[in-house]
Amino acid sequence: MMKDNRIHELTTLKVIAEKLNEATDVKIMLKDVLCELLKLTDLNTGWVFLIDKQGEYELAAEYNLPAGLSWNKKIVMCEGGCWCINRYYDDRLNKAANIINCKRIEAAIKNNWGETNGITHHATVPLQAGNEKFGLLNIAAPNKKHFTDEELALLESVAFQIGTAINRIQLVEKARKHALIEERNRLAQDLHDSVNQLLFSIMLTARGTKELTIETEVKDMLSYIQELSQEALTEMKGLIWQLRPQGLENGIGSALLNYANVLGLKAELNIEGVCTLPCHLEEELWRIGQEALNNCKKHAETTEVFLSITRKNYTVKMIIEDKGIGFQYDEKNHLPSMGLRGMKERAKKINGNFNLSSSLGSGTIISITIPLQKEV
């Protein structure tokens, strides 16, 4: 009997390892592995919380949740604390554990949110690889109040495999982003060396040719070619800046000031309490600021803009303000352009808040607030 159990455990680990080795996306991987794990172990229900370094958690995968836990778009699974989350936060949960009861299930029963299918307890296992922690794997079954040591050991092995796979996927993603930045820099250099020089040559050729003709119509056409070349050169400089912002190595404030200068804007900068920021935060703030300055150039009908980047405790706030014509905007309505929606999405990606204030004749204020890790 013990031999049969051992063979079953090894088979389970083999099947799951194969799934994990194929994975390239964390959330898809978690859903597939959770489903496979429950089938192989004859258990019933499971869910995975991913928890970031700021302590924010999300329901990243779930399988066969009862109606009581699925009520109102699974709100009970997405909000509030519970025993396992709290223990995870304060580092008291370092191995697989039986949970005496589940606060989320208790809430579903108390509030009559739906059937819980006899589920009252669950096992919980931290997802980790070495010193890196990624979240929690929770497993439950109807009328099951206790998991054996053998079951917990199997779940712990699976959780370690999942943690290792998450770590691998994240490392691959970092390498991919690094390769993308390198390719972007190469393309920017190529554009600078070739296309910029060609456009400049066209401008000089048109200017020189004007001196060789007395025909008014020809002079006008050559002047038009000069204007188009100058406009294209300005657009190309802006494109190169989008690919590789010069000055970002000196900080986000320097990069935005330089970009404003490229656009022909007069920017005033105020920086308080900011030394350096993590590269991924700096990159996203740069992209948000770039879009905001582009909007100012195209729509605000002003050349003056105010930039502010401040750090207080573990929060960084960036404000971009102009005194242009503004536009009618109500916070209850959707953001009126793809650019603004893109800024909001970028802020959300780094756990930040995006705020927009604008009205006709009163200019526009865009502010981004992002949290920092304590070690930053």
Residue 159 CA, distance from chain mean position: 25
Report pLDDT for 332. 64
CB 254 within 8 A of CB 213: no
The span from the CA of 138 to the CA of 34, in Å, is: 10
Query: In this predicted structure, what is the pLDDT of residue 245?
Result: 59
Whole-model pTM? Answer: 0.57
d(CA 92, CA 360): 55
Domains of the chain: 2-174 (3.30.450.40), 250-376 (3.30.565.10)
> Does residue 93 contact residue 109 with C-beta atoms inside 8 Å?
no
Residues 220, 223, 227, 232, Cα dihedral to 10°? 110
Two tokens, residue 259: 């970009």
Q: What percent of the chain stands above pLDDT 70?
A: 86
At residue 249, does pLDDT exceed 70? no
Burial of 292 (0-12, 13-18, 19+ CB in 10 A): buried
Question: Of 19-33, 241-255, 264-278, 334-348, where does mean pLDDT reach its minimum?
Answer: 241-255
Model confidence at 50: pLDDT above 50 = yes
The overall average pLDDT reported for the chain is: 84
pLDDT band at 247 (very low <50, low <70, confident <90, very high): low
Average pLDDT over every residue of 333-340: 75
The more confident residue out of 51 and 184 is 51
Q: In the beta sheet, which residues pair with residue 356? A: 366
Looking at mean pLDDT, say which of 167-181, 223-237, 306-320 comes out highest.
306-320
For residues 223-227, average pLDDT: 86
